[in-house]
């Protein structure tokens, strides 16, 4: 990318992110980490000449607590699709999560070279297909399963309905190619909604988390938790970790933003399993907020897809570097030299009790 292209991309990306933050849908589809939700309490006069952002996720060391979330059908954004994202994540020394509904298969993504990769799983009505897919991911070197649990039915995605969304004829859901699972054909409203209604298992329950543990040795992350009650059940069910997610605010109106649900989930786990945040991260300051509230790391989705559409692999590399640089700067200006030094004392939130509220005057 030339300097002029880089500046052009930066302007485009910044403008797009601001637009996304202003447009969360016709209802309260809160996805972004709003500016007023957290304020920083920076510490001063600390030697921050060296900043260590490395961390370990499920035993795998990565360069920063910023990872790539599963986003479907990436070849609709760029011809290289998931290939580009996989290479960019590997170059950044971080984790990529491949969607079940990718336009590149687990084997194809594995062929791009070394890297730490997780596989996001939707559970189909045909459990034989699920077993085959999990085992293929395992053979291809994927290191964990991110089980999406908030989509027994597809939410009312009004843009998809308006546009009668479906895959272009030159693309397929590559992980299911050759299987008799029907196609994502055009429909009166959304082709994706029709596909989900026909294929995804609505009976999915907590016992299926335990069933998955019988067919794979891979750790299982439960993706889509928003309450402390479900966090406690996830621990009891043997989940290796939790991903706090509201599915990009596209499933259910009036759910909380991920930042608002995070602390409740973290407290409910009592440190027994790691908790990650997926959704709403747009800047390195957002990463700091999430870690201060107890997250072990964050996943980004929309920034990856937007940068992929703009500049392919170079765009994804750029956005990961931008977030890394912003996060490092935020750590330095907050007086934190390592991730373990980021604490709840470094932020205040809109739901906190005021720290220095005046005492009521005594009656005379």
Residues designated as active site: 247
The answer to whether 346 and 43 have CB atoms below 8 angstroms apart is yes
- The pLDDT tens digits for 7-45 are 555 555 555 555 544 444 433 444 555 555 789 999 999
The answer to whether 53 and 287 have CB atoms below 8 angstroms apart is no
In this prediction, residue 32 carries a pLDDT of 53
Contacts of 101 (CB under 8 A, 6+ apart): 72, 73, 122, 173, 175
Q: pTM of this prediction?
A: 0.86
126 pLDDT band, cuts 50/70/90, is: confident
Residue range 310-321: average pLDDT?
A: 97
CA dihedral 173, 178, 182, 188 (to 10 degrees): 40
**pLDDT of 364 higher than 50:** no
Residue range 191-218: average pLDDT?
A: 81
Give the pair of three-digit tokens for residue 71.
């986003």
| Residue whose entry in the numeric block shows the structure tokens 């290191």 | 143
| Residue whose entry in the numeric block shows the structure tokens 């971080």 | 94
Cα–Cα dist 88/311, whole Å: 12
Give the pair of three-digit tokens for residue 239.
């989940």
In this prediction, residue 113 carries a pLDDT of 95
Cα–Cα dist 223/269, whole Å: 15
Helix or strand holding residue 96 (H, E): strand 96-98
Contacts of 218 (CB under 8 A, 6+ apart): 134, 137, 138, 142, 143, 144, 145
Contacts of 170 (CB under 8 A, 6+ apart): none
Least confidently predicted of 3-17, 260-274, 306-320? 3-17
Q: How far is CA 243 from CA 224, 324, 339, in A?
A: 6, 20, 19
In this prediction, residue 24 carries a pLDDT of 42
Percent of the chain with pLDDT over 70: 78
In this prediction, residue 358 carries a pLDDT of 52
Cα–Cα dist 317/87, whole Å: 9
- The pLDDT tens digits for 264-293 are 999 999 999 999 999 889 999 999 999 999
- The pLDDT tens digits for 132-158 are 999 999 999 999 999 999 887 766 666
Beta bridge partners of 277: 244, 298
In this prediction, residue 228 carries a pLDDT of 97
In this prediction, residue 23 carries a pLDDT of 44
């Amino acid at each position: 990318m030339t300097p002029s292209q880089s500046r052009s991309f930066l302007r485009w990306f910044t403008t797009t992110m601001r637009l996304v933050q202003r447009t969360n849908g016709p209802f309260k589809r809160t996805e972004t980490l709003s500016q007023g939700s957290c304020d920083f309490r920076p510490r001063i006069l600390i030697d921050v000449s060296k900043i260590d952002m490395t961390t370990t996720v499920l035993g795998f060391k990565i360069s920063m607590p910023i990872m790539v979330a599963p986003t479907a059908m990436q070849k609709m954004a760029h011809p290289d699709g998931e290939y580009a994202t996989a290479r960019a994540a590997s170059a950044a020394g971080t984790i990529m999560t491949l969607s079940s509904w990718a336009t590149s298969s687990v084997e194809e993504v594995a062929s791009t070279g070394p890297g730490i990769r997780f596989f996001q799983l939707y559970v189909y009505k045909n459990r034989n297909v699920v077993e085959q897919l999990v085992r293929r991911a395992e053979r291809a070197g994927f290191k964990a399963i991110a089980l999406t649990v908030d989509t027994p039915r597809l939410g009312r995605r009004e843009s998809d309905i308006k546009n009668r969304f479906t895959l272009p004829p030159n693309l397929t859901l590559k992980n299911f190619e050759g299987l008799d699972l029907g196609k994502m054909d055009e429909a009166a409203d959304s082709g994706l909604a029709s596909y989900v209604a026909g294929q995804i298992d609505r009976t999915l329950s907590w016992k299926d988390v335990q069933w998955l543990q019988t067919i794979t040795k891979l750790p299982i992350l439960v993706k889509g938790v928003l309450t402390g009650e479900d966090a406690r059940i996830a621990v009891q069910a043997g989940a290796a970790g939790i991903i706090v997610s509201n599915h990009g605010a596209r499933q259910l109106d009036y759910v909380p933003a991920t930042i608002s649900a995070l602390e409740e989930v973290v407290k409910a786990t009592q440190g027994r399993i790691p908790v990650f945040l997926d959704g709403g991260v747009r800047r390195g300051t957002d990463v700091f907020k999430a870690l201060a509230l107890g997250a072990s790391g964050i996943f980004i989705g929309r920034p990856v897809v937007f940068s992929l559409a703009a500049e392919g692999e170079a765009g994804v590399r750029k956005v990961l570097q931008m977030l890394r640089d912003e996060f490092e700067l935020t750590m330095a200006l907050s007086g934190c030299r390592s991730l373990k030094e980021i604490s709840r004392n470094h932020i205040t939130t809109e739901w906190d009790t005021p720290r220095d509220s005046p005492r009521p005057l005594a009656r005379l």
